[in-house]
Amino acid sequence: MSENGGSGVADVFCNRCGHRNPPESRFCSSCGAPLDASVEDRPTITYQLDTPTEANEAIEVDLGEVPSGGMLVVHSGPNAGSRFAVDQDTITVGRHPESDIFLDDITVSRRHVEIVRQGDAFVVRDVGSLNGTYVNRQRIDETTLHDGDELQVGKFKLLYVGGGAAGSAGSA
């Protein structure tokens, strides 16, 4: 996650827009929002990604920022670093501007996928996309999301970080 010359200090993500900022930043260079510089002593979870194109890339998530339903973190694609709360009964994902998670790229269908709450779990369901939906590099029509799963929608690769009781697996 840190691309700051190997100093060991993690980049700071804006809580408002998700933009990645250098660790010494006090304000977001994209939207101007103040950045929380006190990231020390916060519980975090780190995911080590091991995909052919992003081997050894790690994503660190502040557990205090994860809502009870979890969150999706874009780790690859045009909006890398963006974070989306999974906190509704149904979340629409697609290129349509009224989607709950708007992914603006031609590889994403206007109405690509839905994430639906079923009890304590969330189910991801392809809703007739042209390029398909993948979870952990397997094409799916419908499957339950688990902590640490990688959801691919077009060029976008999103990491699911489970919240509440579902978010206890995968910590490092």
Listing DSSP states for the chain in one string gives ---STT-SPPPEE-TTT--EE-TT-SB-TTT-PBP----TT--EEEEEE--TTSTTEEEEEEGGG--TT-EEEEEESTTTT-EEE--SSEEEEESSTTSSEE--STTS-SS-EEEEEETTEEEEEE-S-SS-EEETTEEESEEE--TT-EEEETTEEEEEE--GGGGGTT--
Write out the two tokens for 167.
Answer: 């978010």
- 89 burial type by CB count under 10 A (0-12 exposed, 13-18 middle, 19+ buried): exposed
Rounded to whole angstroms, how far apart are CA atoms 116 and 82? Answer: 20
DSSP string of 45-66?
EEEEE--TTSTTEEEEEEGGG-
How high does pLDDT run on average in the chain?
Answer: 79
What's this model's pTM, rounded to 2 decimal places? 0.63
Average pLDDT over residues 140-160: 94
- Residues 88-131 have pLDDT tens digits of 999 999 999 999 999 989 999 999 999 999 998 999 999 999 99
What percent of the chain lies above the pLDDT cut of 90? Answer: 41
Q: Which of 6, 1, 7 is nearest to 21 (CA)?
A: 1
Average pLDDT over residues 33-37: 71
Rounded to whole angstroms, how far apart are CA atoms 138 and 119? Answer: 24
